[in-house]
Amino acid sequence: MNSVRASIRKLPPSAAIKILKKVFSLPAPAARLILNDVTRARKSHKPWIHRVKLSQHHPQDWSGCWIGENIHDLNPDALMRRVYDADIILFYVHGGGFRIGSCTMYMDTNIAWINVLKEKYGLKCMIMSVDYRLAPEYRYPSPVEDVVRAYEHLIERIGIASEKIIVVGDSAGAALCLEMLFITHDPSMFEIEIADDNAQQPVLSELPRPAGTILISPLVTDQTTSESWTTNQKYDYITDYTAKVIKRDYFEPITTKKSEENDNEDEEKINQVLGIAKLQTGFSNFMSAQVLMYIGNLEVLRDDAIQLALKAEQDGVAWQTVIEDNVHDWFCVREVVKDKSTLIRADQTFADFCFKSIGQPKVKTNEQQLPYHIPTPRSSLSGLYAVKEEDEEDEDESSYLSDTTPSNSSSMFNYGLSKLSLNEFDQKSSKVASSEIVFV
């Protein structure tokens, strides 16, 4: 199987796109079986990965892994020291149409980010790569809850200053990042539903904005009516059928009531739309001050993503967009890129944006103490179960990528966020900032 995986990774971009188009159209179990094996972390990645698993004996708020240089064999204290000493923390949420994927599916890309930050600016970087529950076993808003918990854990439990955090998400992961930022900027807008009526009301506090946000081929709406959906399906591996599969598996159907004028008509079933796409203003309230977006000129999501960028920059967000003649998620799925020099330029832009967003890193002293851990009504930090990466031959990746990844059954509270109420969103801030679109 390893030789098959190696052969697939060496396929020309056109062949890789055809395979991805087929995989993304498959039912979730079959798609996971194929993609999880192809993207499974290799032995060369082992020194870079330190797993954080959910455990029945160690209640905690997130699962996934830390990614950093030579962190595999670190004990928990040494690992946390590396996290605190880092100049920049990338809070990363993977894509996969809410149905497939894992925290280690783009290891070559993640390592490239760490290396370019080190080589160009001398920055020490750690990546908190988050796993979340997958559809169709867990529908909206379960993945959003997992990402919110993870960001809250990074800020409040570990105590990392938001000034050195860059939120990064690709495709569906970018959608989850946007919803996380929206929810955590004003949690009072959302009702918290608790499964146990006798349980203590959980507290979801307002969390500070990260220093910057990087959106890679973001999924911002479930609609497929923009022009790029018509013109780019012949190039992209995301199709109308893929969109239908994602909507069927991820969004809970809503049944509308019969209108008084149409009592004889059947009730119409529609899907929830991604709430961010409905906003016309107010982006500067919940987004970071600076945003970098990568988009493919040949992907079906192009026009919807650019429309989001235009609305956000009109509302005061400093937005930079990099457009390449590539298909969906090209910055992470590097096998679909024919001209590899575009990736080198894109990595340089990535490093420039991160450095500009966090500013000059603070000089640390040897006597500097670990940050104070702010108490929350969740589990203690000592509950984190950091697990070293196992050898590739023995590692059961399905434990991270199956429909039980991750299950938050060990959390102190079992709660769910109610549906977004965009009509109550405070639409303010009419400042205008110039966005930057870079064609390279």
Cα separation of 69 and 44, whole Å? Answer: 12
User: Stretch 287-300: mean pLDDT, rounded?
Assistant: 97
User: Is the Cβ–Cβ distance between 99 and 250 less than 8 Å?
Assistant: yes
Would you state the pLDDT for residue 253?
65
Claim: this prediction has a pTM higher than 0.85 = no
What integer pLDDT is reported at residue 418 of this predicted model? 44
The pLDDT of residue 200 is 52
- Cβ neighbors of 326 (< 8 A, separation 6 or more) are 296, 297, 298, 299, 336, 337, 342
Q: What is the mean pLDDT of residues 119-125?
A: 98
| Residue range 38-78, pLDDT digits in tens | 999 999 999 999 999 877 666 678 999 999 999 999 999 99
DSSP code of 153? I
Q: Is 284 a residue whose pLDDT tops 80?
A: yes
Cβ 307 vs Cβ 283: under 8 Å: no
Measured CA to CA, the distance from residue 384 to residue 73 in angstroms comes to 16
Helix (H) or strand (E) holding 34: helix 28-38
Residue 381 confidence (pLDDT): 33
